[in-house]
Amino acid sequence: MPKDKKTIKKVVASKPKKKGYQSVKGMHDILPKDQLYWDKIRTETKNLADYYHYGRIDTPLVEQADLFEKGVGEATDIVEKQMFVLKGGKDKLVLRPEGTASVVRAYLQHGLTHRPQPVKLYYIGPMFRKERPQEGRFRQFHQAGFEIIGDGNDAIYDAQIVLSCYRLLESLKIKKLDIQINTIGCKACRPDYRRRLVDYYKKKKVCNNCERRLKTNPLRILDCKDNKCQEFKKDAPVILDCLCADCKSQFKGVLEYLEELGLPYSLNNYLVRGLDYYNQTVFEIFAEGFDGALASGGRYDYLAKILGGKDASAVGVGIGLERVIAVMKKNEVKLTAKQKPKVFFIHVGSLAKKKSLGLIEELKNAGVRIGEALGKGSLKAQLRQADKDEAVIALIFGQKEAFEKSIIIRDLATGSQESVLLDKFIKEVKKKLK
């Protein structure tokens, strides 16, 4: 009986269980089409790192939760609620939410403290934070990072980190870069500033969020978006007035180096960072095409000590690669795609098909890159493919050719073709390509 077509379809379709799997929230596949961007980023990062002598370091994706709780800060959102905690086992393990703590851990663990200081390292890899995803913010995302560890808090290292990051973004054709920079003082002077800030804001009617920030992280009040809070900001104490002599001269030094380099920076006394380990220099880099920061970093002189190691001043930066790619796409940065092969191999018939893999090997050994559609049966389909791939010449190898030990070389633009013997066809192909 011709029952309703739709009903039949539904019954059939619903039989084989569910529809299928999809990648989990905030985690994405990177398809071949997008690998162009990633290749570009990887090569530019490596080139720059080689030039400035950063050694590559890869640390595990999984670390002790402790490392970040101590390092990044117990009260930060990242640690408090954004870490992926692994179930099972007696240790509390987490997927790393950022790179710096791991790098410092490795620095201490492997005695890099006994290498010539400073130790300069770079990394590139995935990080994990359990946030609500939106554009430029994912649960698995990638960062490239540069770190300079050891040898005191010389301002020239801060400048070199900013420079490295800036040049990398430049090499990726990201335009209208804006470096925002600030200092947040040190153990000696920050508490003083913090106190003055709290005293000031305690008397104001700040928004609910800032009410909370007042207790957890008062410096954060400074970048509140609430209108009233913005107003209060005008008369709020300024960090620069509270700096100790060392912090003052350190910051001055950083700015002087940046000026010497001609890097365009703007002073932003309201810039603070969310991670606890920062001190003195903090900076973020912005570009047209994305609202948030593309990269951010700063000095973290206390981290090594916090992690139980010896004192080691350090400065570093992390670059959000998905954000970089978002900007590259908006700027329509052109990437040179891998050149398509100009020669296309076509087989006809089973005998020829049998010999085709071997022939292609010969061409490969001779350095001729080749396109093919070996699984397709008809000559027509293969030629159509050759056309789509924008091949210049086609090599047609059929039953007859297999017997005669020859092959047809066809010029795809003109349609003219000739048969040549197999022992000299490679030479002919190379001649045609010139």
Angle between helices 190-202 and 208-216 (to 10 degrees): 150
Helix (H) or strand (E) holding 318: strand 314-320
The answer to the question of residue 405 lying near RNA (CB under 7 A) is: no
Judged by CB under 7 A, the residue of 29, 260, 291, 423 near RNA is 291
Structure tokens at 295: 């990269």
Among 294, 325, 359, 360, binds RNA (CB under 7 A): 294
Pick 244 or 351: Cβ nearer RNA: 351
β-partners of residue 267 are 181
269, 385, 420, 432: which one binds RNA (CB under 7 A): 385
SS3 state at 281: strand
CB 52 within 8 A of CB 160: yes
Instruction: Tell how far CA 255 is from the center of its chain.
Output: 27
Q: How many helices (H) and strands (E) does the chain have?
A: 16, 16
- Establish if 63 lies at the interface with RNA (CB under 7 A): no
The CB-of-271 to RNA minimum distance in angstroms stands at 11
CB of 187 to RNA, least distance (A): 20
Shortest separation between residue 396's beta carbon and RNA, angstroms: 5
42 binds RNA (CB under 7 A): no
137 touches RNA by CB under 7 A:
yes
* SS3 category, 203: coil
Site for RNA in 145-204 (CB under 7 A): none
- Return the residue of 37, 40, 48, 76 that touches RNA, per CB under 7 A: 76
Stretch that binds RNA, among 35-43, 177-185, 331-339, 370-378 (CB under 7 A): 370-378
3-class SS of residue 390: coil
DSSP state of 222: G
Least distance to RNA, CB of residue 245, Å: 29
Q: Residue 274 CB, nearest distance to RNA (Å)?
A: 2
Interface with RNA: number of residues (CB under 7 A): 77
From candidates 186, 348, 360, 363, binder to RNA by CB under 7 A: 348
Among residues 69, 158, 322, 372, which is the contact residue for RNA, using CB under 7 A? 322
Residues 91-110 that bind RNA (CB under 7 A): 98
Question: Among residues 130 and 196, whose Cβ is nearest to RNA?
Answer: 130
387 binds RNA (CB under 7 A): yes
Other residues' Cβ atoms within 10 Å of the Cβ of residue 199: 11
Q: Work out whether 33 is an interface residue with RNA (CB under 7 A).
A: no
Q: Would you count residue 399 as binding RNA (CB under 7 A)?
A: yes
Footprint of RNA on 3-22 (CB under 7 A): 5-6, 13-14, 18-19, 22
CB 218 to RNA: min, Å: 11
Q: Give the shortest CB-286-to-RNA separation in angstroms.
A: 9
User: Applying CB under 7 A, does 134 fall inside the site for RNA?
Assistant: yes
Strand order in the sheet with 279-287: 55-56, 119-128, 140-149, 314-320, 290-299, 279-287, 178-183, 265-267
Sign of CA dihedral 74, 78, 80, 85: negative
Local structure of residue 137 (DSSP, 8 states): B
Angle among Cα 221, 222, 227 to the nearest 5 degrees reads 85
Beta carbons within 8 Å of 396's beta carbon, 6+ residues apart: 346, 348, 379, 407, 408, 410, 417
> Of 239, 386, 409, 426, which one interacts with RNA (CB under 7 A)?
386
Residue 395: beta bridge partners?
345, 409
Residue list 253-282, contact with RNA (CB under 7 A): 273-275
Strand partners, 119: 149
Residue of 54, 359, 398, 409 that binds RNA (CB under 7 A): 398
Stretch of 167-175, 188-196, 335-343, 376-384 contacting RNA, by CB under 7 A: 376-384
Regarding 434 and contact with RNA (CB under 7 A), the answer is: no
Instruction: State the Cα–Cα distance between residues 108 and 308, nearest whole angstrom.
Output: 9
Least Cα distance to 187 among 300, 73, 318, 274 occurs for 300
Which residue in 132, 203, 310, 434 binds RNA (CB under 7 A)? 132
Among 196, 204, 376, 432, binds RNA (CB under 7 A): 376
CA distance 181 to 90: 42
Residues of this chain, 209-248, that bind RNA according to CB under 7 A = 209, 213, 217, 220, 224-226
Q: What is the dihedral of CA 300, 302, 303, 307, to 10 degrees?
A: 180
